[in-house]
């Protein structure tokens, strides 16, 4: 689920899957072609490290879940996890793994979720969706995440600060931009540079634990 060059080359994160009208990347085509170098075959090290000290419980949404490695890492601890992706091929791959717990996979667009998803989740776990969507849609991303979280719910985000590419995806973000986008709806509870990363990601990621404001 990780990438390190632009979308025209054979690498780039899956984001939320196929190709919505505002996304120039056809993620379904990438999965169909097997052009998925972001898939490292396991959950993100910053996530698994976090889970050793802070269990994630309740209902959890993982947007842009791809083959579901992060979903299963959370589900094995007992949470009820929904993996969301636009690519049906990615989700078929995710469903091909033995169940780790109470995980399900839904094909859909984060920006067009049904109303019954409003306030449905206790947690959202962000890994590669935010960096994959066009940056002009980042405010829409924050609105979508805020909408599906319960008041007082939590966001665990692994942000990509510097992907080392001239043109994304993946698209980097500064701490100032992240703060400007999220502070209105989310309280920053904890922030850290992860000590464990995929190779080549050292010092390029920022982890934040945020709580959705109540009221």
Every domain of the chain and the residues it spans: 27-212
Nearest CA-CA partner of 139 in 93, 98, 173, 106: 173
Residue 2 — pLDDT band, cuts 50, 70, 90?
Answer: very low
Q: What's the average model confidence in pLDDT over 10-29? A: 57
Residue 170 — pLDDT band, cuts 50, 70, 90?
Answer: confident
Q: Is residue 148 a contact partner of residue 4, using CB atoms and an 8 Å limit?
A: no
Strand locations in 68-171 (E): 80-85, 102-107, 121-126, 149-160
In angstroms, the CA 5 to CA 186 distance is 30
CATH number of 27-212: 3.40.50.150
Which pLDDT score, from 0 to 100, does residue 215 have? 67
Q: Give pLDDT tens digits for 42-82.
A: 999 999 999 999 999 999 999 999 999 999 999 999 999 99
Q: Give pLDDT tens digits for 85-116.
A: 999 999 999 999 999 999 999 999 999 999 99
Q: Does residue 35 have a cis peptide bond before it, meaning omega lies within 30 degrees of 0?
A: no
Q: Does residue 170 have a cis peptide bond before it, meaning omega lies within 30 degrees of 0?
A: yes
Name, in order, each residue with C-beta under 8 angstroms of 82's C-beta and a sequence gap of 6 or more: 59, 60, 61, 62, 71, 103, 104, 105, 106, 121
177 CA to centre of own chain: 17
């Amino acid at each position: 689920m990780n990438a390190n060059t632009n979308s025209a080359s054979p690498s780039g994160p899956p984001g939320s899957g196929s190709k919505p009208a505002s996304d120039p990347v056809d993620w379904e085509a990438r999965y169909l072609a097997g052009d998925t170098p972001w898939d490292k075959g396991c959950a993100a090290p910053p996530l698994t490290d976090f889970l050793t000290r802070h269990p994630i419980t309740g209902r959890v949404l993982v947007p842009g879940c791809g083959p579901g490695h992060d979903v299963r890492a959370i589900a094995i601890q007992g949470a009820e996890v929904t993996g969301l992706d636009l690519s049906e091929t990615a989700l078929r791959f995710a469903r091909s793994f033995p169940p780790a717990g109470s995980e399900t996979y839904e094909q859909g667009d984060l920006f067009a979720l049904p109303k019954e998803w409003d306030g449905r989740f206790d947690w959202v776990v962000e890994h590669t969706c935010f960096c994959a969507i066009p940056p002009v849609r980042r405010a829409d991303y924050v609105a979508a995440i805020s909408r599906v979280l319960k008041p007082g719910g939590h966001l665990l985000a692994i942000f990509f600060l510097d992907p080392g590419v001239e043109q994304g995806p993946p698209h980097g973000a500064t701490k100032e931009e992240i703060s400007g986008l999220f502070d209105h709806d989310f309280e920053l509870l904890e922030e850290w540079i992860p000590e464990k990363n995929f190779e080549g990601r050292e010092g390029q990621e920022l982890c934040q634990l945020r709580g959705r404001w109540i009221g």
